[in-house]
Chains A and B, each alone.
Chain A
Amino acid sequence: MSGGAFGTEVTAAGVASSVLQVALTVAGAPLLVGLMRQIRARMEGRAGAGVGQPWRDLRKLMRKKPLAPDGTGPLFRTAPLVQVATALMVAAAIPFVSVRTGLGGAADLIAVVALLTLGTAALALAGLDTGTAFGGMGASREMTITALAEPTVLMATFALSTRVGSTNLPAIVDASLKDAGRVISPVSVLAAFALAAVVLAEAGRLPVDNPSTHLELTMVHEAMVLEYSGPDLALVELAASMRLAVLLGLWSALFLPWGTATSTGVPAVAGATVLFTLKVGVLGAVLAAGEVFMAKLRLFRVPELLAGSFLLAVLAVAASFFL
Protein backbone atom coordinates (compact mmCIF):
# COMPACT_ATOMS: atom_id res chain seq x y z
CA MET A 1 0.00 0.00 0.00
CA SER A 2 1.67 3.15 -1.22
CA GLY A 3 -0.81 5.54 0.41
CA GLY A 4 1.45 6.08 3.39
CA ALA A 5 4.12 7.75 1.28
CA PHE A 6 1.68 10.50 0.42
CA GLY A 7 0.28 10.89 3.89
CA THR A 8 1.94 13.84 5.56
CA GLU A 9 4.99 15.08 3.72
CA VAL A 10 4.59 18.57 2.30
CA THR A 11 7.76 19.78 0.62
CA ALA A 12 8.64 23.18 -0.81
CA ALA A 13 8.94 21.60 -4.26
CA GLY A 14 5.47 20.11 -3.86
CA VAL A 15 4.05 23.51 -2.98
CA ALA A 16 5.81 24.94 -6.03
CA SER A 17 4.22 22.35 -8.32
CA SER A 18 0.79 23.10 -6.82
CA VAL A 19 1.32 26.82 -7.46
CA LEU A 20 2.32 25.97 -11.02
CA GLN A 21 -0.89 23.94 -11.46
CA VAL A 22 -3.03 26.79 -10.16
CA ALA A 23 -1.33 29.33 -12.43
CA LEU A 24 -1.67 26.98 -15.39
CA THR A 25 -5.38 26.44 -14.70
CA VAL A 26 -6.19 30.15 -14.28
CA ALA A 27 -4.29 31.15 -17.41
CA GLY A 28 -5.30 28.15 -19.50
CA ALA A 29 -8.98 27.64 -18.63
CA PRO A 30 -10.33 30.62 -20.65
CA LEU A 31 -8.03 29.60 -23.50
CA LEU A 32 -9.50 26.07 -23.34
CA VAL A 33 -13.02 27.51 -23.60
CA GLY A 34 -11.86 29.71 -26.48
CA LEU A 35 -10.33 26.72 -28.23
CA MET A 36 -13.54 24.71 -27.86
CA ARG A 37 -15.69 27.57 -29.19
CA GLN A 38 -13.29 28.06 -32.08
CA ILE A 39 -13.39 24.36 -33.02
CA ARG A 40 -17.15 24.39 -32.84
CA ALA A 41 -17.35 27.53 -34.97
CA ARG A 42 -15.04 26.12 -37.63
CA MET A 43 -16.95 22.83 -37.80
CA GLU A 44 -20.20 24.73 -38.23
CA GLY A 45 -18.71 26.79 -41.03
CA ARG A 46 -18.26 30.06 -39.09
CA ALA A 47 -15.02 32.00 -38.76
CA GLY A 48 -15.12 32.08 -34.94
CA ALA A 49 -13.91 34.81 -32.58
CA GLY A 50 -10.46 33.37 -31.93
CA VAL A 51 -8.98 31.40 -29.06
CA GLY A 52 -8.23 34.53 -27.01
CA GLN A 53 -11.80 35.86 -27.03
CA PRO A 54 -12.78 34.61 -23.52
CA TRP A 55 -9.78 36.47 -22.07
CA ARG A 56 -10.78 39.65 -23.95
CA ASP A 57 -14.33 39.28 -22.60
CA LEU A 58 -13.01 38.86 -19.07
CA ARG A 59 -10.81 41.99 -19.41
CA LYS A 60 -13.76 44.02 -20.66
CA LEU A 61 -16.04 42.82 -17.83
CA MET A 62 -13.37 43.46 -15.19
CA ARG A 63 -13.19 47.15 -16.13
CA LYS A 64 -16.92 47.74 -15.61
CA LYS A 65 -18.52 49.09 -12.45
CA PRO A 66 -19.64 46.46 -9.91
CA LEU A 67 -23.42 46.36 -9.80
CA ALA A 68 -25.76 44.22 -7.70
CA PRO A 69 -29.55 43.97 -8.11
CA ASP A 70 -31.74 45.55 -5.44
CA GLY A 71 -32.60 43.27 -2.56
CA THR A 72 -29.75 40.82 -2.97
CA GLY A 73 -27.66 40.05 0.07
CA PRO A 74 -24.05 39.14 0.80
CA LEU A 75 -24.68 35.64 -0.57
CA PHE A 76 -25.08 37.03 -4.08
CA ARG A 77 -21.80 38.92 -3.81
CA THR A 78 -19.71 36.15 -2.25
CA ALA A 79 -20.91 33.24 -4.44
CA PRO A 80 -18.56 34.02 -7.38
CA LEU A 81 -15.64 34.32 -4.97
CA VAL A 82 -16.53 30.98 -3.36
CA GLN A 83 -16.73 29.35 -6.76
CA VAL A 84 -13.37 30.72 -7.88
CA ALA A 85 -11.78 29.83 -4.54
CA THR A 86 -13.00 26.22 -4.63
CA ALA A 87 -11.84 25.82 -8.24
CA LEU A 88 -8.38 27.17 -7.29
CA MET A 89 -8.20 24.84 -4.31
CA VAL A 90 -9.14 21.85 -6.45
CA ALA A 91 -6.59 22.84 -9.09
CA ALA A 92 -3.92 22.78 -6.39
CA ALA A 93 -5.01 19.39 -5.06
CA ILE A 94 -5.36 17.23 -8.19
CA PRO A 95 -2.01 15.84 -9.39
CA PHE A 96 -2.01 17.45 -12.86
CA VAL A 97 1.72 17.77 -13.40
CA SER A 98 3.28 15.95 -10.45
CA VAL A 99 2.02 13.44 -7.90
CA ARG A 100 4.01 15.36 -5.27
CA THR A 101 1.48 18.12 -4.71
CA GLY A 102 1.71 20.69 -1.96
CA LEU A 103 -1.36 19.38 -0.16
CA GLY A 104 -0.13 15.88 0.78
CA GLY A 105 -2.77 13.85 2.58
CA ALA A 106 -5.44 16.53 2.14
CA ALA A 107 -5.62 15.92 -1.63
CA ASP A 108 -8.43 13.43 -1.20
CA LEU A 109 -10.78 12.50 -4.04
CA ILE A 110 -13.85 12.87 -1.82
CA ALA A 111 -12.62 16.29 -0.62
CA VAL A 112 -12.11 17.39 -4.22
CA VAL A 113 -15.65 16.35 -5.17
CA ALA A 114 -17.03 18.06 -2.07
CA LEU A 115 -15.21 21.31 -2.94
CA LEU A 116 -16.63 21.28 -6.46
CA THR A 117 -20.12 20.68 -5.06
CA LEU A 118 -19.62 23.55 -2.61
CA GLY A 119 -19.04 25.85 -5.58
CA THR A 120 -22.20 24.57 -7.29
CA ALA A 121 -24.26 25.01 -4.13
CA ALA A 122 -22.96 28.57 -3.60
CA LEU A 123 -23.98 29.58 -7.10
CA ALA A 124 -27.39 27.89 -6.76
CA LEU A 125 -28.00 29.83 -3.53
CA ALA A 126 -27.00 33.04 -5.31
CA GLY A 127 -29.50 32.20 -8.06
CA LEU A 128 -32.21 31.85 -5.41
CA ASP A 129 -31.06 35.06 -3.69
CA THR A 130 -31.99 37.21 -6.68
CA GLY A 131 -35.63 36.17 -6.23
CA THR A 132 -36.28 36.11 -9.98
CA ALA A 133 -38.10 33.29 -11.70
CA PHE A 134 -35.14 32.30 -13.83
CA GLY A 135 -32.69 32.25 -10.94
CA GLY A 136 -34.89 29.91 -8.95
CA MET A 137 -35.59 27.70 -11.94
CA GLY A 138 -31.91 27.42 -12.82
CA ALA A 139 -30.97 26.70 -9.21
CA SER A 140 -33.60 23.99 -8.92
CA ARG A 141 -32.46 22.31 -12.13
CA GLU A 142 -28.78 22.56 -11.22
CA MET A 143 -29.36 20.98 -7.82
CA THR A 144 -31.44 18.18 -9.37
CA ILE A 145 -28.61 17.34 -11.75
CA THR A 146 -25.99 17.60 -9.01
CA ALA A 147 -27.98 15.37 -6.67
CA LEU A 148 -28.25 12.74 -9.41
CA ALA A 149 -24.58 13.00 -10.38
CA GLU A 150 -23.19 12.78 -6.86
CA PRO A 151 -23.93 9.05 -6.20
CA THR A 152 -22.13 8.17 -9.44
CA VAL A 153 -19.06 10.10 -8.34
CA LEU A 154 -18.99 8.37 -4.98
CA MET A 155 -19.44 4.88 -6.48
CA ALA A 156 -16.76 5.52 -9.13
CA THR A 157 -14.46 6.86 -6.42
CA PHE A 158 -15.07 3.72 -4.41
CA ALA A 159 -14.27 1.51 -7.43
CA LEU A 160 -11.02 3.36 -8.10
CA SER A 161 -9.90 3.46 -4.50
CA THR A 162 -10.59 -0.16 -3.46
CA ARG A 163 -7.63 -1.43 -5.47
CA VAL A 164 -5.26 1.21 -4.13
CA GLY A 165 -6.60 1.06 -0.59
CA SER A 166 -6.75 4.86 -0.33
CA THR A 167 -8.91 7.72 -1.58
CA ASN A 168 -5.85 9.94 -1.74
CA LEU A 169 -5.68 11.28 -5.32
CA PRO A 170 -1.88 11.35 -5.68
CA ALA A 171 -1.78 7.77 -4.33
CA ILE A 172 -4.36 6.60 -6.91
CA VAL A 173 -2.51 8.30 -9.77
CA ASP A 174 0.85 7.03 -8.54
CA ALA A 175 -0.44 3.45 -8.34
CA SER A 176 -1.77 3.56 -11.90
CA LEU A 177 1.51 5.09 -13.13
CA LYS A 178 3.44 2.19 -11.61
CA ASP A 179 1.11 -0.50 -12.95
CA ALA A 180 -0.24 0.25 -16.42
CA GLY A 181 -2.53 -2.82 -16.30
CA ARG A 182 -4.57 -1.06 -13.65
CA VAL A 183 -5.69 1.62 -16.11
CA ILE A 184 -6.59 -0.83 -18.88
CA SER A 185 -8.80 -3.05 -16.71
CA PRO A 186 -12.59 -3.46 -16.98
CA VAL A 187 -13.03 -1.67 -13.65
CA SER A 188 -11.16 1.37 -14.84
CA VAL A 189 -12.91 1.44 -18.22
CA LEU A 190 -16.38 1.24 -16.63
CA ALA A 191 -15.47 3.95 -14.11
CA ALA A 192 -14.09 6.09 -16.94
CA PHE A 193 -17.41 6.00 -18.81
CA ALA A 194 -19.36 6.69 -15.61
CA LEU A 195 -17.20 9.66 -14.68
CA ALA A 196 -17.26 11.00 -18.25
CA ALA A 197 -21.04 11.37 -18.04
CA VAL A 198 -20.66 13.11 -14.68
CA VAL A 199 -17.99 15.47 -16.05
CA LEU A 200 -20.42 16.49 -18.80
CA ALA A 201 -23.20 17.06 -16.27
CA GLU A 202 -21.08 18.94 -13.73
CA ALA A 203 -19.36 21.12 -16.30
CA GLY A 204 -22.73 21.96 -17.86
CA ARG A 205 -21.92 20.74 -21.37
CA LEU A 206 -24.12 19.08 -23.97
CA PRO A 207 -26.15 16.87 -23.78
CA VAL A 208 -27.03 17.94 -20.21
CA ASP A 209 -26.83 21.72 -20.51
CA ASN A 210 -26.06 23.96 -23.46
CA PRO A 211 -23.42 26.51 -22.43
CA SER A 212 -24.17 28.86 -25.29
CA THR A 213 -27.94 29.18 -24.98
CA HIS A 214 -30.11 31.80 -23.34
CA LEU A 215 -33.38 30.10 -24.22
CA GLU A 216 -35.68 30.18 -21.18
CA LEU A 217 -36.87 26.60 -21.48
CA THR A 218 -33.48 24.93 -21.63
CA MET A 219 -30.86 26.95 -19.79
CA VAL A 220 -29.51 25.69 -16.46
CA HIS A 221 -26.23 27.37 -15.61
CA GLU A 222 -27.01 30.54 -17.58
CA ALA A 223 -30.34 30.92 -15.76
CA MET A 224 -28.59 31.08 -12.39
CA VAL A 225 -26.09 33.73 -13.42
CA LEU A 226 -28.52 35.90 -15.36
CA GLU A 227 -28.40 38.75 -12.83
CA TYR A 228 -24.60 39.02 -12.65
CA SER A 229 -22.77 41.80 -14.44
CA GLY A 230 -19.36 43.44 -14.54
CA PRO A 231 -16.51 42.00 -12.45
CA ASP A 232 -18.86 39.53 -10.72
CA LEU A 233 -19.86 38.09 -14.08
CA ALA A 234 -16.18 37.92 -15.02
CA LEU A 235 -15.52 35.85 -11.88
CA VAL A 236 -18.47 33.57 -12.62
CA GLU A 237 -17.27 33.02 -16.19
CA LEU A 238 -13.71 32.42 -15.05
CA ALA A 239 -14.92 29.95 -12.41
CA ALA A 240 -17.06 28.10 -14.96
CA SER A 241 -14.15 27.74 -17.38
CA MET A 242 -11.79 26.69 -14.57
CA ARG A 243 -14.33 24.13 -13.48
CA LEU A 244 -14.40 22.64 -16.96
CA ALA A 245 -10.59 22.58 -17.12
CA VAL A 246 -10.32 21.04 -13.66
CA LEU A 247 -12.90 18.34 -14.39
CA LEU A 248 -11.23 17.42 -17.68
CA GLY A 249 -7.89 17.45 -15.85
CA LEU A 250 -9.28 15.20 -13.11
CA TRP A 251 -10.58 12.75 -15.69
CA SER A 252 -7.27 12.70 -17.54
CA ALA A 253 -5.31 12.33 -14.27
CA LEU A 254 -7.41 9.29 -13.32
CA PHE A 255 -7.68 7.54 -16.67
CA LEU A 256 -4.80 8.91 -18.81
CA PRO A 257 -2.15 9.37 -16.12
CA TRP A 258 0.85 8.74 -18.41
CA GLY A 259 3.40 11.52 -18.33
CA THR A 260 2.55 12.86 -14.89
CA ALA A 261 5.80 13.44 -13.02
CA THR A 262 6.47 11.20 -10.01
CA SER A 263 9.27 13.46 -8.80
CA THR A 264 9.63 17.20 -8.45
CA GLY A 265 12.66 17.55 -10.74
CA VAL A 266 12.41 20.53 -13.09
CA PRO A 267 12.73 18.60 -16.40
CA ALA A 268 10.11 16.01 -15.36
CA VAL A 269 7.67 18.70 -14.23
CA ALA A 270 8.24 20.76 -17.39
CA GLY A 271 7.59 17.72 -19.58
CA ALA A 272 4.52 16.81 -17.54
CA THR A 273 3.20 20.37 -17.87
CA VAL A 274 3.42 20.24 -21.66
CA LEU A 275 1.83 16.79 -21.73
CA PHE A 276 -0.96 17.83 -19.37
CA THR A 277 -1.76 20.89 -21.49
CA LEU A 278 -1.87 18.66 -24.55
CA LYS A 279 -4.09 16.04 -22.88
CA VAL A 280 -6.65 18.58 -21.65
CA GLY A 281 -6.53 20.38 -25.00
CA VAL A 282 -7.20 17.17 -26.91
CA LEU A 283 -10.00 16.16 -24.52
CA GLY A 284 -11.58 19.60 -24.92
CA ALA A 285 -11.26 19.40 -28.70
CA VAL A 286 -12.88 15.94 -28.76
CA LEU A 287 -15.69 17.21 -26.54
CA ALA A 288 -16.24 20.28 -28.72
CA ALA A 289 -16.23 18.18 -31.89
CA GLY A 290 -18.67 15.72 -30.33
CA GLU A 291 -21.01 18.51 -29.27
CA VAL A 292 -21.46 19.61 -32.88
CA PHE A 293 -23.22 16.33 -33.60
CA MET A 294 -25.25 16.20 -30.38
CA ALA A 295 -28.59 17.67 -29.38
CA LYS A 296 -29.42 18.62 -25.82
CA LEU A 297 -31.34 15.96 -23.91
CA ARG A 298 -34.77 16.90 -22.67
CA LEU A 299 -34.52 17.74 -18.98
CA PHE A 300 -36.67 14.74 -18.10
CA ARG A 301 -34.31 12.43 -19.97
CA VAL A 302 -31.26 13.65 -18.00
CA PRO A 303 -32.05 11.35 -15.03
CA GLU A 304 -31.94 8.45 -17.50
CA LEU A 305 -28.41 9.40 -18.57
CA LEU A 306 -27.28 9.83 -14.98
CA ALA A 307 -28.98 6.59 -13.87
CA GLY A 308 -27.05 4.88 -16.66
CA SER A 309 -23.79 6.37 -15.45
CA PHE A 310 -24.66 5.36 -11.88
CA LEU A 311 -25.23 1.81 -13.09
CA LEU A 312 -21.83 1.84 -14.83
CA ALA A 313 -20.25 3.00 -11.57
CA VAL A 314 -22.00 0.20 -9.65
CA LEU A 315 -20.77 -2.27 -12.26
CA ALA A 316 -17.25 -0.89 -11.81
CA VAL A 317 -17.47 -1.54 -8.07
CA ALA A 318 -18.93 -5.01 -8.63
CA ALA A 319 -16.32 -5.80 -11.28
CA SER A 320 -13.53 -4.81 -8.91
CA PHE A 321 -14.64 -7.80 -6.84
CA PHE A 322 -15.19 -10.45 -9.48
CA LEU A 323 -13.05 -9.58 -12.49
Chain B
Amino acid sequence: MNGSADTQILDFACGLFLLAAVGALWRRELSAVIGLLAVQGAALAVIAAALGADEHHPELYAVAAGVGLLRAGVLPGLARRALAASGEDRESQPLVNVASSLLAAAALVLLAYAVAQPLARLDASPGARALPVGLASVLIGLFMLVARRKALSQVAGFLLLDNGITAVAFLAAAGVPLLVEIGVSFDLLLVVLVLRVLTVRMQSAFGATDLDDLRELHD
Protein backbone atom coordinates (compact mmCIF):
# COMPACT_ATOMS: atom_id res chain seq x y z
CA MET B 1 0.00 0.00 0.00
CA ASN B 2 2.85 2.31 0.82
CA GLY B 3 4.34 4.32 -2.01
CA SER B 4 1.66 3.55 -4.59
CA ALA B 5 0.70 6.41 -6.87
CA ASP B 6 -2.85 6.60 -5.42
CA THR B 7 -1.55 6.95 -1.90
CA GLN B 8 0.92 9.63 -2.94
CA ILE B 9 -1.82 11.60 -4.70
CA LEU B 10 -4.05 11.21 -1.65
CA ASP B 11 -1.26 12.41 0.66
CA PHE B 12 -0.57 15.41 -1.52
CA ALA B 13 -4.26 16.32 -1.79
CA CYS B 14 -4.57 16.07 2.00
CA GLY B 15 -1.51 18.27 2.44
CA LEU B 16 -2.93 20.84 0.03
CA PHE B 17 -6.30 20.67 1.80
CA LEU B 18 -4.69 21.46 5.15
CA LEU B 19 -2.46 24.14 3.64
CA ALA B 20 -5.48 25.88 2.11
CA ALA B 21 -7.31 25.85 5.46
CA VAL B 22 -4.31 27.41 7.18
CA GLY B 23 -3.76 29.87 4.36
CA ALA B 24 -7.36 31.08 4.65
CA LEU B 25 -6.62 31.95 8.26
CA TRP B 26 -3.31 33.59 7.33
CA ARG B 27 -4.42 35.95 4.58
CA ARG B 28 -6.33 39.16 5.30
CA GLU B 29 -7.43 39.91 1.74
CA LEU B 30 -10.89 38.39 1.37
CA SER B 31 -10.35 37.68 -2.34
CA ALA B 32 -7.27 35.60 -1.47
CA VAL B 33 -9.29 33.75 1.18
CA ILE B 34 -11.95 32.90 -1.40
CA GLY B 35 -9.25 31.72 -3.81
CA LEU B 36 -7.90 29.42 -1.10
CA LEU B 37 -11.40 28.04 -0.52
CA ALA B 38 -11.57 27.14 -4.20
CA VAL B 39 -8.18 25.40 -3.88
CA GLN B 40 -9.47 23.50 -0.88
CA GLY B 41 -12.59 22.45 -2.77
CA ALA B 42 -10.44 21.16 -5.62
CA ALA B 43 -8.24 19.26 -3.16
CA LEU B 44 -11.36 17.72 -1.67
CA ALA B 45 -12.46 16.54 -5.12
CA VAL B 46 -9.01 15.01 -5.69
CA ILE B 47 -9.24 13.25 -2.30
CA ALA B 48 -12.59 11.75 -3.29
CA ALA B 49 -11.28 10.64 -6.68
CA ALA B 50 -8.09 9.16 -5.18
CA LEU B 51 -10.15 7.22 -2.63
CA GLY B 52 -12.41 6.03 -5.45
CA ALA B 53 -9.37 4.72 -7.33
CA ASP B 54 -7.88 3.22 -4.18
CA GLU B 55 -10.98 1.38 -3.03
CA HIS B 56 -12.53 0.70 -6.45
CA HIS B 57 -15.74 2.68 -6.02
CA PRO B 58 -16.54 4.03 -9.50
CA GLU B 59 -19.47 6.13 -8.21
CA LEU B 60 -17.00 8.14 -6.13
CA TYR B 61 -15.74 9.67 -9.38
CA ALA B 62 -19.19 11.16 -9.99
CA VAL B 63 -19.31 12.43 -6.41
CA ALA B 64 -15.82 13.89 -6.86
CA ALA B 65 -16.92 15.72 -9.99
CA GLY B 66 -19.99 17.09 -8.19
CA VAL B 67 -17.98 18.14 -5.14
CA GLY B 68 -15.38 19.79 -7.33
CA LEU B 69 -18.01 21.69 -9.31
CA LEU B 70 -19.83 22.91 -6.21
CA ARG B 71 -16.94 23.67 -3.86
CA ALA B 72 -14.25 24.79 -6.30
CA GLY B 73 -16.60 26.53 -8.74
CA VAL B 74 -20.06 27.58 -7.60
CA LEU B 75 -19.55 28.49 -3.92
CA PRO B 76 -16.34 30.53 -4.42
CA GLY B 77 -18.04 32.18 -7.39
CA LEU B 78 -21.02 33.20 -5.22
CA ALA B 79 -18.70 34.45 -2.47
CA ARG B 80 -16.74 36.44 -5.03
CA ARG B 81 -19.91 38.14 -6.25
CA ALA B 82 -20.92 38.95 -2.68
CA LEU B 83 -17.44 40.40 -2.16
CA ALA B 84 -17.81 42.62 -5.23
CA ALA B 85 -21.22 43.76 -3.96
CA SER B 86 -20.03 44.52 -0.42
CA GLY B 87 -17.04 46.60 -1.52
CA GLU B 88 -14.87 45.51 1.42
CA ASP B 89 -11.71 43.69 0.52
CA ARG B 90 -9.91 43.12 3.84
CA GLU B 91 -10.58 41.62 7.24
CA SER B 92 -9.28 44.70 8.99
CA GLN B 93 -9.89 43.96 12.66
CA PRO B 94 -10.15 40.29 13.54
CA LEU B 95 -10.99 39.65 17.20
CA VAL B 96 -7.81 37.57 17.53
CA ASN B 97 -4.80 38.94 15.68
CA VAL B 98 -3.35 36.96 12.82
CA ALA B 99 -0.12 35.84 14.50
CA SER B 100 -2.01 34.47 17.51
CA SER B 101 -4.64 32.81 15.36
CA LEU B 102 -1.86 31.05 13.42
CA LEU B 103 -0.41 29.74 16.68
CA ALA B 104 -3.92 28.68 17.73
CA ALA B 105 -4.25 26.86 14.41
CA ALA B 106 -1.01 24.99 15.13
CA ALA B 107 -2.48 23.89 18.48
CA LEU B 108 -5.78 22.91 16.79
CA VAL B 109 -3.94 20.73 14.25
CA LEU B 110 -2.18 18.90 17.07
CA LEU B 111 -5.51 18.55 18.90
CA ALA B 112 -7.09 17.09 15.77
CA TYR B 113 -4.22 14.62 15.53
CA ALA B 114 -4.64 13.58 19.16
CA VAL B 115 -8.42 13.21 18.86
CA ALA B 116 -8.25 11.19 15.65
CA GLN B 117 -5.82 8.61 17.00
CA PRO B 118 -8.43 6.08 18.23
CA LEU B 119 -10.28 6.37 14.91
CA ALA B 120 -7.13 5.92 12.86
CA ARG B 121 -6.25 2.83 14.88
CA LEU B 122 -9.45 1.08 13.78
CA ASP B 123 -8.37 0.93 10.17
CA ALA B 124 -4.87 0.93 8.71
CA SER B 125 -5.81 2.41 5.34
CA PRO B 126 -4.05 5.59 4.15
CA GLY B 127 -7.42 7.39 4.20
CA ALA B 128 -7.98 6.69 7.89
CA ARG B 129 -4.45 7.79 8.70
CA ALA B 130 -5.19 11.15 7.06
CA LEU B 131 -8.34 11.69 9.15
CA PRO B 132 -6.76 14.46 11.27
CA VAL B 133 -6.60 16.62 8.14
CA GLY B 134 -10.40 16.76 7.95
CA LEU B 135 -10.79 17.30 11.70
CA ALA B 136 -8.19 20.07 11.62
CA SER B 137 -10.13 21.85 8.89
CA VAL B 138 -13.33 21.55 10.98
CA LEU B 139 -11.58 23.07 14.00
CA ILE B 140 -9.90 25.84 12.01
CA GLY B 141 -13.23 26.69 10.36
CA LEU B 142 -14.91 26.88 13.76
CA PHE B 143 -12.11 29.11 15.03
CA MET B 144 -12.53 31.39 12.04
CA LEU B 145 -16.27 31.62 12.67
CA VAL B 146 -15.57 32.76 16.24
CA ALA B 147 -12.63 35.07 15.62
CA ARG B 148 -13.59 36.97 12.48
CA ARG B 149 -16.09 39.79 12.26
CA LYS B 150 -16.83 40.40 8.61
CA ALA B 151 -19.81 38.50 7.25
CA LEU B 152 -17.78 37.12 4.34
CA SER B 153 -15.01 35.85 6.60
CA GLN B 154 -17.68 33.98 8.49
CA VAL B 155 -18.97 32.48 5.26
CA ALA B 156 -15.40 31.38 4.58
CA GLY B 157 -15.15 29.87 8.07
CA PHE B 158 -18.42 28.04 7.56
CA LEU B 159 -17.24 26.63 4.24
CA LEU B 160 -13.95 25.50 5.81
CA LEU B 161 -15.97 23.74 8.50
CA ASP B 162 -18.17 22.01 5.96
CA ASN B 163 -15.25 21.05 3.71
CA GLY B 164 -13.70 19.49 6.80
CA ILE B 165 -16.83 17.50 7.61
CA THR B 166 -17.04 16.22 4.05
CA ALA B 167 -13.35 15.31 4.07
CA VAL B 168 -13.83 13.33 7.29
CA ALA B 169 -16.77 11.51 5.71
CA PHE B 170 -14.68 10.61 2.65
CA LEU B 171 -11.59 9.60 4.57
CA ALA B 172 -13.36 7.57 7.24
CA ALA B 173 -16.07 5.81 5.25
CA ALA B 174 -15.36 6.55 1.56
CA GLY B 175 -18.24 9.03 1.54
CA VAL B 176 -21.79 9.10 2.83
CA PRO B 177 -24.64 7.71 0.67
CA LEU B 178 -25.10 9.69 -2.51
CA LEU B 179 -28.56 10.97 -1.52
CA VAL B 180 -27.26 12.42 1.76
CA GLU B 181 -24.32 13.99 -0.04
CA ILE B 182 -26.64 15.69 -2.52
CA GLY B 183 -28.88 16.89 0.31
CA VAL B 184 -25.95 18.34 2.27
CA SER B 185 -24.56 20.02 -0.82
CA PHE B 186 -27.94 21.58 -1.56
CA ASP B 187 -28.21 22.87 2.03
CA LEU B 188 -24.75 24.33 1.75
CA LEU B 189 -25.65 26.14 -1.45
CA LEU B 190 -28.75 27.58 0.25
CA VAL B 191 -26.74 28.71 3.28
CA VAL B 192 -24.24 30.54 1.12
CA LEU B 193 -27.06 32.14 -0.88
CA VAL B 194 -28.81 33.27 2.32
CA LEU B 195 -25.59 34.65 3.76
CA ARG B 196 -24.96 36.47 0.52
CA VAL B 197 -28.37 38.12 0.72
CA LEU B 198 -27.65 38.94 4.38
CA THR B 199 -24.34 40.56 3.40
CA VAL B 200 -26.02 42.73 0.81
CA ARG B 201 -28.82 43.72 3.23
CA MET B 202 -26.31 44.57 5.95
CA GLN B 203 -24.31 46.59 3.48
CA SER B 204 -27.36 48.66 2.59
CA ALA B 205 -28.50 49.04 6.22
CA PHE B 206 -25.19 49.80 7.99
CA GLY B 207 -22.72 50.55 5.21
CA ALA B 208 -20.50 47.73 6.49
CA THR B 209 -20.71 43.99 7.03
CA ASP B 210 -19.27 43.87 10.53
CA LEU B 211 -21.44 41.38 12.38
CA ASP B 212 -20.75 43.11 15.70
CA ASP B 213 -23.13 45.83 14.54
CA LEU B 214 -26.00 43.34 14.87
CA ARG B 215 -26.36 43.67 18.61
CA GLU B 216 -30.08 43.94 19.13
CA LEU B 217 -33.26 42.75 17.48
CA HIS B 218 -35.65 45.13 15.79
CA ASP B 219 -39.17 44.42 14.73
A319 touching B15 in the complex, CB below 8 Å, given contacts A311-B22, A314-B109: yes
Q: Determine if A315 and B103 form an interchain contact, defined as CB atoms under 8 angstroms apart.
A: no
**A-side contacts of B141, CB under 8 Å:** none
Does A323 reach chain B (CB closer than 8 Å)?
A: yes
> Which stretch of B128-136, B143-151, B187-195, B196-204 is in the interface?
B128-136
A290-323 to B contact mask, C-beta < 8 Å, 1/0 = 0000000000000110011011101100110111
Q: Determine if B106 and A321 form an interchain contact, defined as CB atoms under 8 angstroms apart.
A: no
**A-side contacts of B37, CB under 8 Å:** none
**A-side contacts of B98, CB under 8 Å:** 304, 307
Does B208 reach chain A (CB closer than 8 Å)?
A: no
Does B63 reach chain A (CB closer than 8 Å)?
A: no
A266–B193 alpha-carbon span in the complex (Å): 67
Does A186 reach chain B (CB closer than 8 Å)?
A: yes
**B-side contacts of A319, CB under 8 Å:** 15, 18
B14-27 to A contact mask, C-beta < 8 Å, 1/0 = 11001100100010
Q: Determine if B106 and A186 form an interchain contact, defined as CB atoms under 8 angstroms apart.
A: no
The size of the chain B interface, using a CB distance under 8 A, is 27
**A-side contacts of B110, CB under 8 Å:** 314, 318
A310 touching B106 in the complex, CB below 8 Å, given contacts A186-B12, A303-B99, A322-B120: yes
Does B105 reach chain A (CB closer than 8 Å)?
A: yes
Does B3 reach chain A (CB closer than 8 Å)?
A: yes
Q: Determine if B15 and A314 form an interchain contact, defined as CB atoms under 8 angstroms apart.
A: no
**B-side contacts of A311, CB under 8 Å:** 22, 26, 102-103, 105-106
Does B54 reach chain A (CB closer than 8 Å)?
A: no
Residue of A nearest to B25 (CB): A311
Minimum CB–CB distance for A160 against chain B, Å: 15
